[in-house]
Amino acid sequence: MRNLNSKLVMDFISEQGYDSVEKTYVAYTPLDHYMCIAVAESYDNETEENSARIAVEAVLTAFEKKPSFKRLKEYIRYANEQIFLHSTRSELKVSLTVLVSDYTRMRYAYCGNTRIYILYENIFTHISKTQTKYHQILEENAQVLPDSTQVHNLTEYLGKEKHVSPFVSKTMELAEGSTILFATSNLWGRLSEIEILDAYEYTKTGREFLEILQELLLSLQEEYDQRMGSFTAAILYIEKTYKEDIQKKKKRKKLLLFAVVATVVLLLLMFLIVSCIRALDRSQMREIEKHDQRGRRYMEYENYVKALEEYEQAVTLADGMNDKNWQYVEQKRELAEKVSDREAMLILHQEAEAAFLSGEYEKAGKLYAQIQKEATYQQFASLADSAEQKQEEIVARMQILQHISLGDMYESTQDDEQALLHYNRALNELSRIIDLELQGDVQAKIFAIRQKQREAAQAEEDAKQAEKQAKKEEKEAKEEAKKEAAKQKEEEEAAQKEAAADRAVIKIHTLLVSANSALDEERTERARELYQQALSRYNKFTGSSEDADKLFQELTALGQAITEAEAKAKEAAIEERTAQAAQYAIQAKEAARSGDRTAARALYEKALAIYQELNIWDERIEAVYDAIDELEHGTAQNPDSKSSQDESTVAESHTGGT
């Protein structure tokens, strides 16, 4: 096992500094064949949990599932997903460095501004860069030293986007006696590389190295009065690496050499086989092309039967080609498709000819249209022209047959004129094609109709006089019936109008009776509503003037009665409100007499509100104002003397009439 046969010592220190929570985190997982170390630093405002810890634990979880040198990007992207999932209260931002080793070699990746240093015998053998504006400026101009504030100006970090782009190093050998230092930004941004080397030179153990780095940082803070946040420094000391078996390496080399020789022999055999297959394929392709040339020549001579025979042989040869090898795959596929398409086109032509000869013109037209399209695409001009001529002839024949069919239909319904019209149109269309048999049939149909028309002409003349007399008598009877129907209609309309007027009178009377009943029951609003409905119906009334006058008198009487009732109700309401104000004044007097001036004032103000609502400005409201003034400015020393007398006067004035 690699872990047991090697010795890699891990140690670290972490300080919270002036941060409210720890902003850095380091952890590692040693397995049998691999180990993983992750260092992270957070830059967010989260105060309840350490987002750097979330990122490190996510990396180690992904590593434990699938440990490998090749999955460093997957580990960091999984950590980025976890950071996004935890960004609920605020946006989390984390910088991360991950190192994976198989105890012989190592590979690292970073996203952000955490760094690693590899030290050996007091020199740096490797220093990682960062994804910050600091290193971006250094790369653009090495002579310019960037501002130290650019250390925290990140160009890439976890939580920035859903898809991060970390840097992944090449695989490097582990050197025994070397030390790998993991540093967060507050460490490498404040300590120079020389200071780190000096601290490493005068230490004997990794713990001493870490403690000296810690003391240097704290001394900088005290010397320059700098507030420093969280930082982490971790080291991995390579005391012993795993040594692979030399014999196994030799065996692997021999096996590799044997595999190379076997591969060369196999490639030679494959070359011979491929050459034979290529020669066979070329021979078959040449034979197919010969049949194609002969088929094209037959098609130019319009001998489509012989052309079809040639292409049938070409398709048979194409089907026999070996399409499972990779030789001439595209050429064989194109050649097979070409001869197959031409065979299919000629088969369509054969079917179209058969359909045309059997009178299936619709089917033949569709087939010839497809043939014309395919022939044009495959550049067979003579076949395309022939298909186009056939389509024109099919259209003409279908029109001729349609005219003949329509002529037969009209002849069966004794419509000789329309029958002749369509038969003559059929004759005109027949002039475009040569079909003497069909032309003779149409002419015979026309002659038969003409003969029938001549025989019917005389009988028609004889019937005209009798028909004329019958039409005259029929016209007179229709006029008489029309007059009778008009008279009856007028009588029905008059009766309907009278019935409608009667119904309207009944409905209005019903509304008036209901309104009077509501008025008797002192439901004035309901009476007014029914009165409005009755008045609306009266305005639409179209009956006799006598009924209209009676209804008008009843409506007028009801409207006057409703108005009087509403006036009485209004007066009663005013009297009731006035009595309520007087009651408030009496209650205020009693409250004042008992010494409760606050209650007395509230009651007087209620009385004032009622008087103002009713627009009453006589001596009653003046008395209330006087009583309020007396409460505010009266003789406070003897509340039962003059104040009591004045309040009595106010109450008496309120109880008087309105």
Tell whether the model's pLDDT for residue 156 goes beyond 90. yes
Q: How confident is the model at residue 639 (pLDDT cuts 50, 70, 90)?
A: very low
Instruction: Assess whether pLDDT exceeds 50 at residue 658.
Output: no
What does the alpha-carbon distance between residue 184 and residue 6 come to, in Å, rounded to a whole number? 27
Q: Report residue 200 as tokens.
A: 């490493």
Which amino acid is it at 521?
E
Report DSSP state, residue 637: S
Q: Tally Cβ neighbours within 10 Å of residue 220.
A: 15
Query: What per-residue confidence (pLDDT) applies to 30?
Result: 95
Better-predicted residue by pLDDT, 605 or 325: 605
pLDDT at 645 (0 to 100):
43
Question: pLDDT tens digits, residue range 199-239?
Answer: 998 888 889 999 999 999 888 877 666 678 899 999 999 99
Q: What is the pTM of this model?
A: 0.43
CB burial of residue 146 (10 Å; 0-12, 13-18, 19+): middle
The model's confidence at residue 16, banded by pLDDT at 50, 70 and 90, is confident
| CB of 91 closer than 8 Å to CB of 130 | no
Structure tokens at 436: 């003497």
Cβ-contact 112, 95 below 8 angstroms:
yes
Q: What is the largest CA-CA distance in the chain?
A: 146
Beta-bridge partner residues of 12: 234
Of residues 4 and 643, which shows the higher confidence score?
4
> Higher confidence at residue 645 or residue 458?
458
Q: Are 289 and 328 in contact (CB under 8 A)?
A: no
Distance between CA atoms of residues 495 and 173, nearest Å: 119
Q: How many CB atoms lie within 10 A of CB 11?
A: 14
Mean pLDDT score of the chain, rounded to an integer?
83
| Phi and psi torsions of 355, nearest 5° | -65, -40
Three-state SS sequence of 139-160: HHCCCCCCCHHHHHCECCCECC
Distance (Å) of CA 612 to CA 426, 581, 589, 651, 654: 103, 11, 20, 18, 14
Does residue 640 surpass a pLDDT of 50? no
Q: Using the structure block, give the residue that is written with the tokens 């399209």.
A: 373
3-state SS, residue 14: strand
Instruction: Pick the more confident residue, 530 or 105.
Output: 105
Interval 492-528: pLDDT, tens: 777 777 777 777 778 888 888 888 888 788 788 888 8
pLDDT: which is higher, 164 or 339: 164
pLDDT at 13: 94
Per-residue pLDDT for 647 more than 50? no
Tokens 């003046």 — which residue? 622
Q: What pLDDT score does 648 carry?
A: 45
Task: Pick the closest to residue 311 from 390, 378, 389 (CA basis).
Answer: 378
Instruction: Inform me whether the pLDDT recorded for 75 exceeds 90.
Output: yes
* CA-based nearest residue to 541, from 510, 489, 498: 498
Distance CA 274, CA 268 (A): 10
Contact assessment for residue 620 and residue 604, using Cβ atoms and an 8 Å cutoff? no
Tokens 């010839």 belong to residue: 368
Band (pLDDT 50/70/90 cuts) for residue 324 is low
Q: Alpha-carbon distance 404 to 440, whole Å? A: 12
Q: With the CA atoms of 136, 142, 146 and 150 taken in that order, what torsion angle do they form, in degrees rounded to the nearest 10? A: 20
For 133-151, the pLDDT digits (tens) are 988 888 887 677 787 778 8
Predicted confidence at residue 656, as pLDDT, reads: 45
Q: Which of 255-269, 280-294, 301-315 has the lowest mean pLDDT?
A: 280-294
Q: Residue 57 contacts by C-beta under 8 Å, 6 or more apart in sequence?
A: 27
Cα separation, 167 vs 185, in Å, equals 17
Phi and psi of 327, rounded to 5°? -80, 130
| Alpha-carbon gap, residue 108 to 110, rounded angstroms | 7
Residue 55 pLDDT grade (very low, low, confident, very high; cuts 50, 70, 90):
very high
Q: Which two tokens stand for residue 217?
A: 């940082």
Nearest to 237 by CA among 173, 170, 172, 176: 176
Residue closest to 25 by CA, chosen among 33, 13, 17: 13
- What DSSP line would sit under 574-602, residue for residue? HHHHHHHHHHHHHHHHHHHHTT-HHHHHH
Using the predicted structure, report yes or no on whether residue 643 has a pLDDT greater than 70.
no
Angle at 309 between CA 304 and CA 312, to 5 degrees: 120
CA atoms of 140 and 90, how far apart (whole Å): 34
Sign, CA dihedral 354-356-362-368, equals: positive
| Among 459, 426, 430, residue whose Cα is nearest residue 445 | 426
pLDDT band for position 246 (cuts 50, 70, 90): low
What's the average model confidence in pLDDT over 324-345? 75
Q: How far is CA 21 from the centre of its chain?
A: 42
> Hey, which residues does 179 pair with through a beta bridge?
119, 237
Give the residue from 171, 166, 173, 79 showing the smallest Cα distance to 130: 166
Q: What's the rounded Cα separation, in Å, for the pair 90 and 100?
A: 31
Residue 325 has pLDDT above 60, yes or no: no
Pairing mode of beta strands 94-101, 105-111: antiparallel
Give residues with Cβ within 8 angstroms of 82, minimum separation 6.
54, 55, 58
| Six token digits for residue 192 | 């120079």
Could you tell me if 157 and 94 are in contact, meaning their C-beta atoms sit under 8 angstroms apart?
yes
